Amino acid sequence: MPGPALRILAVVVLTTVVAACGSEPRNLVQEPAAAPTIGDEAGVIAEPTTAAAPSQQPAPTAPPPQPAAATPGWVLGATPLPKGPDGTPLVLPTPPALRDRRLTAPDRLPPPGDAVYRSSATPIDAALATRMGTTWQPGCPVPLADLRHVTLSFWGFDGRPHTGELVVNAKVAADIQKVFGTLFTARFPLEDVRVVEPADLAAEPTGDGNTTAAFVCRPVRGSTSTPSAHSSGLAIDINPFQNPYKKGTSVLPELAGAYLDRSLVWPGMIRKGDVVTRAFAEAGWTWGGSWTSTKDTMHFSANGR
DSSP the chain: --GGGGGGGGG-S-S------SSS-------SSPPPP--------------PPPP--PPPPPPPPPPP---TT--TT-SPPPB-TTSPBPP-PPPGGGTT----PPPSSPPPSSS---EEEEE--HHHHHHHGGGS-TTSSS-GGGEEEEEEEEE-TTSSEEEEEEEEEGGGHHHHHHHHHHHHHHT-B-S-B----HHHHHSPP-S----BB-----BPTT-SSSBPGGGGT-EEE--TTTS-EEETTEEESTT-GGGG-TT---TT---TTSHHHHHHHHTT-EEGGG-SS-EETTEEESS--
Task: Provide the domain limits for residue 111.
Answer: 3-301
* Total structural domains within the chain: 1
Q: What is the pLDDT of residue 215?
A: 97
pLDDT for 227 equals 76
pLDDT of residue 184: 98
pLDDT at 49: 34
Ranges of the chain with pLDDT below 70? 1-72, 219, 221-225
> What are the pLDDT digits (tens) for 182-231?
999 999 999 999 999 999 999 999 999 999 999 999 767 666 667 789 99
